[in-house]
């Protein structure tokens, strides 16, 4: 829904359904209730998650027409698509497979262009639209730096081709569509600093000459075109896990004129070992589940960071000299603590308040997709959870949570 600080929505990756028909059933079951609860008097936006399989189905004109008719009837519109997970995302082991196929492959390129074609069809007149995507690839897919650099080169070439495609779409249709590349711990672009370095050192030097040659424009115009269509997806959970400071992140992005395609609003799990409770490791073990990657960054007393690719390795390592753990586990933003465990809700609040001070994006997307794998004692029905999350964000934006 439209707010003073941007369009607020949630991502449908919380709902299962890898085929379009299955996912549509879940949307029809949950969306009307959510819409009525959070935006009864106005249309509501949706961040749509489409698997590769679902995207192929939705390219059928009859299937698309049915979806558009339903959206119009319900007063719902799509302006964001989540294109990070290509394949199965529920009731299967995902882990590092969420990065496959990565940006070094034709499959990822074709899938992403298909998502932009779908978004172009669904996007309301006058709105910008974005597709989120992985941070090139998973760091540990490569055994050495030479192979990793080769993968980065191939991935960057493909993203340059996406940028060219989006520029051509704007010229043909007048729509501003952007690819929102999402830093994530243990991705090749594992944090905002690495993202910016890649954008400035790898992407821009490759894309700007292509645009100049294609359109006959000067370097400044070509660079601005590239910046308009390739943006960062700022995930509050990922930034918090990496112990990134929100003000520093935004300062870095502003310094280099990098646009934020969207904020993904979710909290990470946090453990403060200064409480000195021996049972903390036992408690966090209840969040060790087999579906998703739960990267862990551990801060010691001297502020140094140690990372683990998944929660079991961190648990096996023990707390040792740990002061604080942050775990990539998207927990609901309306919960500040889970007994002795806590969340990074404070960091989410800070980021939203910075958005209120200087509106640096127009898209605010709640993304707590791990609801189905949370410990049972903190679960509530999915629709109720989504409503509570959206209402909590609304209260922050409207200063009602003080």
Query: Taking a C-beta distance cutoff of 8 angstroms, is the pair 299, 324 a contact?
Result: yes
Which tokens hold the place of 103?
Answer: 């940006």
Q: How confident is the model at residue 401 (pLDDT cuts 50, 70, 90)?
A: low
Q: Where are the beta strands (DSSP E) in 217-314?
A: 230-235, 260-265, 267-272, 296-300, 305-308
Partners of 11 in beta bridges: 47
**Token pair listed for 170:** 């704007």
**Is the CB of residue 104 less than 8 Å from the CB of residue 137?**
yes
Per-residue pLDDT for 19 more than 60? yes
Using left for φ > 0, alpha for ψ between -120 and 50, and beta otherwise, residue 276 falls in left
Dist CA 211 CA 213 (whole Å): 5
pLDDT for the residue numbered 263 = 98
| Cα 147 to Cα 314: distance, rounded to the nearest angstrom | 27
At 283 the pLDDT is: 84
Tell me the mean pLDDT in the region 215-232: 98
Reported as a single tens digit per residue, the pLDDT across 287-343 is 888 888 999 999 998 999 999 999 999 999 887 768 899 999 988 898 888 777 899
pLDDT at 388 over 60: yes
Question: What's the rounded Cα separation, in Å, for the pair 165 and 41?
Answer: 37
Distances (CA, A) of 209 to 101, 126, 216: 28, 29, 10
Report pTM.
0.96
Strand, coil or helix: what is 234? strand
pLDDT in tens, 90-144: 678 889 999 999 999 999 999 999 999 999 999 999 999 999 999 999 999 999 9
| Alpha carbons 346 and 335: distance in angstroms, whole number | 11
Q: How many CB atoms lie within 10 A of CB 18?
A: 18
Ramachandran area for residue 95 (φ above 0: left; ψ -120 to 50: alpha; else beta): left
pLDDT tens digits, one per residue of 239-252: 999 999 999 999 99
Mean pLDDT, the chain, rounded, equals: 94
Strand order in the sheet with 363-366: 2-3, 6-10, 363-366, 260-265, 230-235, 177-181, 129-133, 76-82, 44-49
């Amino acid at each position: 829904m439209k707010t003073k600080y941007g369009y607020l929505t949630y991502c449908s990756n919380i709902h299962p359904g890898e085929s379009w028909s299955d996912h549509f059933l879940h949307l029809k079951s949950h969306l009307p209730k959510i819409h009525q609860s959070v935006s009864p008097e106005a249309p509501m936006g949706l961040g749509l998650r489409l698997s590769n399989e679902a995207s192929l189905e939705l390219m059928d004109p009859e299937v698309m027409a049915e979806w558009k008719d339903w959206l119009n009837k319900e007063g719902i519109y799509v302006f964001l698509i989540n294109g990070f997970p290509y394949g199965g995302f529920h009731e299967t082991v995902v882990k590092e497979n969420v990065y496959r196929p990565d940006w070094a492959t034709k499959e990822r390129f074709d899938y992403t262009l298909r998502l932009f074609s779908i978004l172009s069809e669904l996007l309301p007149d006058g709105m910008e639209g974005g597709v989120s995507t992985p941070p090139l690839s998973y760091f540990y897919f490569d055994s050495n730096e030479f192979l990793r650099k080769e993968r980065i080169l191939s991935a960057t070439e493909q993203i340059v081709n996406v940028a060219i495609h989006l520029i051509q779409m704007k010229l043909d249709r007048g729509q501003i569509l952007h690819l929102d590349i999402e830093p994530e711990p243990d991705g090749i672009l594992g944090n905002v600093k690495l993202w910016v370095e890649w954008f400035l050192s790898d992407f821009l030097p490759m894309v700007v000459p292509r645009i100049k040659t294609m359109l006959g424009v000067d370097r400044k115009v070509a660079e601005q075109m590239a910046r308009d269509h390739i943006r960062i997806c700022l995930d509050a959970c990922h930034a918090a896990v990496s112990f990134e400071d929100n003000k520093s992140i935004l300062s870095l992005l502003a310094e280099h004129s990098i646009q934020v395609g969207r904020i993904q609003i979710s909290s990470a799990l946090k453990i403060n070992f200064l409480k000195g409770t021996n049972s903390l490791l036992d408690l966090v073990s209840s969040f060790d589940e087999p579906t998703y990657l739960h990267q862990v960054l551990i801060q010691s007393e001297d502020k140094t960071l140690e990372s683990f690719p998944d929660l079991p390795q961190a648990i096996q390592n023990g707390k040792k000299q740990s002061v604080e753990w942050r775990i990539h586990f998207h927990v609901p933003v309306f919960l500040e603590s889970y007994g002795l465990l806590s969340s990074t809700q404070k960091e989410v609040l800070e980021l939203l308040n910075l958005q209120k001070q200087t509106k640096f994006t127009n898209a605010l997307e709640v993304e707590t997709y791990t609801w189905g794998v949370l410990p049972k004692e903190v679960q509530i029905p999915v629709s109720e959870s989504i409503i509570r999350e959206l209402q909590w964000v609304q209260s922050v934006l409207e200063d009602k949570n003080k």
